[in-house]
Amino acid sequence: MTAVGISDFCRSVCRVFLVTILSISPVSFAQAKGYAATAEGRALIDEMVAKYGFDGDRVEALLAEATRVDKILESISRPAERTLTWGEYRRIFIKPARIEQGVAFLQTHKDAFARAEAEFGVPAPIIAGIIGVETWYGNYLGNYRVLDALATLAFDYPPRSRFFRSELVQYLLMTREQRFDPLQVKGSYAGAMGYGQFISSSYRHYAIDFDGDGVADLLSNPVDAIGSVANYFSAHHWREGGPVAEPVEDRLAMDSPLLTRELKPKLTVSDYRKAGLEPELAVKDHSAARAIRLEGADGPELWLTYHNFYVITRYNHSHLYAMAVLELAGELARGLADANETTKNTEES
Ligand SMILES: [Ca+2]
């Protein structure tokens, strides 16, 4: 057997072997401890058995292994930092290194991006922009065991225990479906995983196997991640070719009621045109729109944002987040065009 053969063999068999060992781990015979010994833990074990057909000893062993991490509780309950201005927020994400690596990411996976664009109608730079903002193209996936993060927040963080308990259930289902070892997967302090930082419920709903190997692997497979982010946008009604947002000359009063608070656009392009704003993108009068005024590095900026901008906020409920993704995507598109032009000129000369 060649070295490659052994490694392939190990990839397929060792994982099965590992999962098998874990499922009969001696921990399951030990007395219940940790979260497995709490009333909430017991209730979760019972639910996984009754509702989803899990092996009770297995879930008990997992909960006994799950560790409370105080740093996670500190992170989630830290008082909100001073809200960053758009200028400050932008500086974090729009950097030459993040742009360069994003262009390389687009080039390396150009076939996957082309397929994602064709199948889901979501531009490659937007997909890469999300993955770039979330994890620097898969370079920072988070260092917490997801099991620890979700158990800590489900059982030791009452303000959001309902949500995180539900995510813990989803996590156990997801790892069973994808045949991941629930003790091995790492992610953010809030249990977000992989290139696009999907939480467990999103993973189950939107992750797809985009390279056809039978696993939707957002943890180590960039092709699956690219397809899954595109699928997420498509499922949240991204409109192919639709406008996203544009800066316009600010003709609104300081406290204009046209500066609506909700992320979802409540007004139309026509409302803003009547107030003197002049969009340049091809937008129809009846299209939904929302004006936002941002404090940029060089002073206030007024932006008209449209349906597709709102779709970006379905990924992360923040207009600054959506702005960062949009601007990074713009830089990536420019960088890619420049790189392609250079390649073309080199080939011609
Ligand atoms: Ca796959």
Q: So what's the pLDDT on residue 87?
A: 95
Whole-number Cα distances in Å, 236 to 229, 239, 313: 11, 9, 10
Q: What is the DSSP string of 140-164?
A: ---SEEHHHHHHHHHHH-GGGHHHH
Neighbours of ion ligand 1 (CB under 5 A): 209, 211, 213, 215, 224
CA dihedral 51, 185, 27, 160 (to 10 degrees): -60
What is the whole-number distance in angstroms between the Cα of residue 225 and the centre of ligand 1? 9
Half-sphere exposure for 81 (CA within 13 Å, toward CB) = 6
Ligand 1 centroid vs 217 CA: distance in angstroms? 5
Angle at the Cα of 304 (from 300 to 309), degrees rounded to 5?
Answer: 115
Nearest CA to 336 out of 28, 114, 10 is that of 114
* Residue 106 scores a pLDDT above 90: yes
Distance 284 CA to ligand 1 centre (A): 40
| Helix (H/G/I), strand (E/B), else coil: 125 | helix
Quick one: pLDDT at residue 13?
A: 41
Q: Average pLDDT of 85-102?
A: 96
Q: What is the mean pLDDT of residues 215-223?
A: 97
Does residue 16 carry a pLDDT above 80?
Answer: no
Q: Which residues are catalytically annotated?
A: 134
For residue 87, what are the contacts with CB-CB under 8 A and spacing of at least 6?
295, 296, 297, 298
pLDDT digits (tens, 9 = 90+) for 53-92: 999 999 999 999 999 999 999 999 886 666 789 999 999 9
pTM for the whole structure: 0.88
Please give the full DSSP string across 183-213, using - where no structure is assigned.
TT-EE-TT--BTTTTB-HHHHHHH---SSSS
Range 45-49 average pLDDT: 98
Sign of CA dihedral 23, 228, 244, 327: positive
CB 315 within 8 A of CB 291: no
Residue 346: the pLDDT is: 85
Confidence check: pLDDT of 311 > 50? yes
For tokens 């539900």, name the residue: 166
48 CA → ligand 1 middle, Å? 27
Using H for helix, E for strand and C for coil, what is the string for 243-256? CCEEEECCCCCCCC
Q: Give bridge partners of residue 296 from the DSSP assignment.
A: 299
CB 283 within 8 Å of CB 306? yes
In the predicted structure, residue 325 carries a pLDDT above the cut 50: yes
238-295 pLDDT, tens per residue?
A: 999 999 999 999 999 999 999 999 999 999 999 999 999 999 999 999 999 999 999 9
More confident residue, 67 or 6: 67
8 CA to centre of ligand 1 in angstroms = 15
Answer yes or no: is pLDDT of 215 > 70: yes
Determine the average pLDDT of the residues in 178-196.
97
Residue keyed to tokens 């392939």: 8
Averaged pLDDT score across all residues of the chain: 91
Residue 11 Cα to ligand 1 middle (Å): 14
pLDDT reading at 135 higher than 50: yes
